């Protein structure tokens, strides 16, 4: 005798969970290997230079601290930076499009920058740090890459709602001016100029019209001409640096100050350098050899050849970063990768150009080579976001525009998807 029991389908079995070690290893393999090699070379080279320049500086010109003070602090911030870099590499950068996350971060850092500005004005101080006595925490170092993040997210979300491309250009210009003015009031002329150039470059990369390109170029020329004149009248050190810069172009033998000592360092180094640790300038004459003058120390110890190797590293980083931007899975990723890459390499070019007299001496750090926790952490955050973009570009199927990251002209364009590992034809 049979019983009529209802048929119960078998419950589906959940697939076995992937071990976390397997997931981490797979995601690590998706990171941009060329970018990873370049960053490792910079980190190792920077550690060598901080050891080489930091100990003599501490012994001869900063006797209040122990000889290994700068090395220990650099290792501390380097550990934090690498950990932050890896954490962001496994994070989804698209969370930055959420204003509930990005807006508070922007308000906090702009508020810290405003605090430094107000404190300097009230106390008649000249400084860029939150703590003036020991020099700790420079919010300006974070504000520059933050501008790239904020502007990329703003353009990605607002380009279709504002309508007129000129309205987009105007509002974006107001955002850039706000960041630049807060940096200028520190006073930090070089950072303000970096922010202006970086902001307008992101605006142009977003798909501006030819008229907007022309207006941007003219605006940058006017800002550079008028701004330098005004800054020279208000801020005396900027005037001295400009005078030394123009003097170096007229007659390099008559140049004085920081640029002169950097020239002497390169002359002593020659083509192949005096050898690691053999620099005389870092002991006696170069101002802040472990930070502002580290490229001159490289030139003296490793020669012109060594300096060219460092220049090649950052140039290769520029190429690799733009390649990450070209392969990004969405418009926001493209703008973000291009902006962060431009900022980091621009910092390096300004530092190196100032040491050889090609640009005015500005005091910008050489990313990963100069001692300093704020710049090292900001650079690590930027690289971590680049790794996040490169990793997700191999797993997402979002469509990207073949011509512009964000089309400000409001016209429809046919989109296509680049295959993993291959740059789109328009980007090649």
Given a contact cutoff of 8 angstroms between Cβ atoms, the answer to whether 324 and 382 are in contact is: no
Given a contact cutoff of 8 angstroms between Cβ atoms, the answer to whether 324 and 389 are in contact is: yes
Give backbone dihedrals phi and psi of 278, rounded to 5 degrees, phi first. Answer: -95, 10
What six digits make up the tokens of 38? 């370049």
CB pairs under 8 A, 24+ apart, for 162-170? Answer: 163/410, 165/208, 165/209, 165/212, 165/408, 165/409, 165/410, 166/212, 168/408, 169/203, 169/208, 169/212, 169/215, 169/408
ω into residue 403 within 30 of 0, thus cis?
Answer: no
Query: Looking at per-residue confidence, does 266 or 416 come out higher?
Result: 266
Residue 416 pLDDT grade (very low, low, confident, very high; cuts 50, 70, 90): very low
H or E, element range at 345: helix 331-355
What percent of the chain has a predicted confidence (pLDDT) above 70? 75
Please tell me whether residue 135 adopts helix, strand or coil conformation.
coil
Q: 31-45, 229-243, 414-428: which has the minimum mean pLDDT?
A: 414-428
Bridge partners of 416? 400
Q: Tell me which residue of 294, 293, 295, 299 sits closest to 273, measured CA to CA.
A: 299
Provide the whole-model pTM. 0.82
pLDDT in tens, 190-243: 888 888 889 888 888 887 777 777 877 787 777 767 666 666 665 666 666 676
pLDDT at 411 over 50: no
pLDDT in tens, 362-402: 778 899 999 988 899 999 999 999 999 998 887 664 444 44
Counts of helices then strands in the chain (DSSP H, E): 14, 0
Q: Quick one: pLDDT at residue 356?
A: 85
Longest dimension (CA), the chain: 114
pLDDT in tens, 72-117: 999 999 999 999 999 999 999 999 998 889 999 999 999 888 888 7
The mean per-residue pLDDT over the stretch 303-320 comes to 95
Residue 160 pLDDT grade (very low, low, confident, very high; cuts 50, 70, 90): low
Q: Quick one: pLDDT at residue 135?
A: 57
**Three-state secondary structure string covering 211-229:** HHHHHHHHHHHHHHHHHHH
Domain coordinates in residue numbering, the chain: 31-407
pLDDT in tens, 258-268: 778 888 889 99
């Amino acid at each position: 005798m049979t019983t009529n029991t209802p048929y119960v389908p078998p419950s589906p079995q959940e697939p076995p969970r992937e071990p976390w070690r397997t997931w981490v290893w797979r995601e690590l393999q998706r990171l941009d290997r060329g970018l990873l090699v370049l960053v490792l070379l910079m980190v190792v080279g920077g550690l060598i230079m901080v050891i080489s320049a930091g100990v003599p500086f501490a012994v001869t010109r900063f006797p209040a601290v122990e000889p290994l003070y700068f090395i220990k602090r650099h290792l501390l911030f380097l550990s934090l930076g690498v950990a932050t870099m890896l954490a962001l590499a496994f994070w989804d950068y698209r969370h930055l499009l959420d204003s509930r996350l990005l807006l508070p971060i922007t308000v906090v850092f702009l508020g810290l920058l405003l605090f430094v500005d107000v404190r300097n004005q009230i106390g008649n101080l000249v400084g860029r740090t939150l703590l003036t006595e020991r020099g700790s925490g420079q919010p300006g170092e974070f504000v520059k890459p933050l501008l790239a993040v904020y502007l990329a997210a703003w353009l990605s979300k607002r380009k279709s709602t504002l309508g007129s491309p000129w309205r987009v250009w105007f509002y974006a210009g107001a955002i850039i001016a706000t960041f630049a003015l807060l940096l200028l009031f520190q006073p930090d002329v070089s950072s303000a100029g970096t922010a202006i150039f970086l902001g307008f470059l992101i605006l142009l990369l977003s798909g501006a019209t030819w008229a907007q390109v022309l207006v941007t170029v003219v605006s940058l020329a006017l800002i550079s001409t008028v701004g330098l004149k005004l800054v020279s009248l208000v801020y005396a050190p900027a005037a001295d640096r400009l005078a030394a810069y123009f003097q170096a172009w007229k007659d390099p033998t008559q140049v004085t100050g920081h640029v002169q000592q950097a020239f002497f360092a390169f002359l002593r180094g020659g083509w192949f350098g005096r050898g690691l640790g053999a620099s005389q300038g870092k002991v006696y004459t170069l101002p802040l050899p472990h930070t502002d003058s580290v490229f001159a120390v490289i030139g003296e110890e490793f020669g012109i050849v060594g300096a060219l190797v460092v220049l090649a590293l950052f140039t290769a980083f520029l190429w690799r970063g733009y390649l990450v931007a070209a392969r990004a899975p969405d418009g926001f990723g493209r703008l973000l990768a291009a902006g962060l890459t431009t900022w980091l390499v621009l910092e390096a070019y300004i530092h190196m150009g100032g040491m050889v007299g090609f640009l005015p001496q500005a005091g910008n750090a050489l990313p990963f080579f100069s001692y300093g926790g704020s710049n090292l952490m900001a650079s690590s955050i930027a690289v971590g976001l680049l790794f996040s973009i490169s990793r997700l570009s191999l797993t997402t199927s979002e469509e990207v525009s073949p011509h512009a990251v964000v089309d400000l002209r409001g016209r429809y364009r046919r989109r296509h998807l680049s295959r993993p590992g291959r740059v789109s034809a328009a980007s090649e």
